[in-house]
Amino acid sequence: IGSYGPLMIHAISRPDFIAMKTLAGRAQDLEDLNHLEPRPDEIAFARDYLNTLAFKGTSQDQIDDALALLDSLEPDSP
């Protein structure tokens, strides 16, 4: 976003934000995701990211829960 002397301000991207909210999976995150209405490409990005987390120490149960949540966000989902 900008540099202010030695301070650099960054912002998270929308796809990264969606992946983060999906992994957290709290009630507020679910509400936020419903309001965000992620596009198919953003869901695909989040899915790809989540599939890398097992190598970084995230439990497979948490990853599976997040992937199930992503499935529910798919536009074709019932």
Q: CA angle at residue 19 from 68 to 23, to 5 degrees?
A: 55
What does DSSP assign to residue 57?
T
* Percent of the chain's residues with pLDDT above 90: 85
Which whole number is the average pLDDT over 60-72? 93
Query: Quick one: residue 25, left, alpha or beta (phi over 0 = left, psi -120 to 50 = alpha)?
Result: left
* Percent of the chain's residues with pLDDT above 70: 95
Quote the distance between the C-alpha of residue 57 and its chain's center: 17
Which whole number is the average pLDDT over 18-33? 94
Quote the pTM value: 0.79
Query: From residue 41, how far is each of 4, 8, 12, 60, 76 by CA, in Å?
Result: 34, 29, 17, 23, 14
Owner of token pair 């509400």? 31
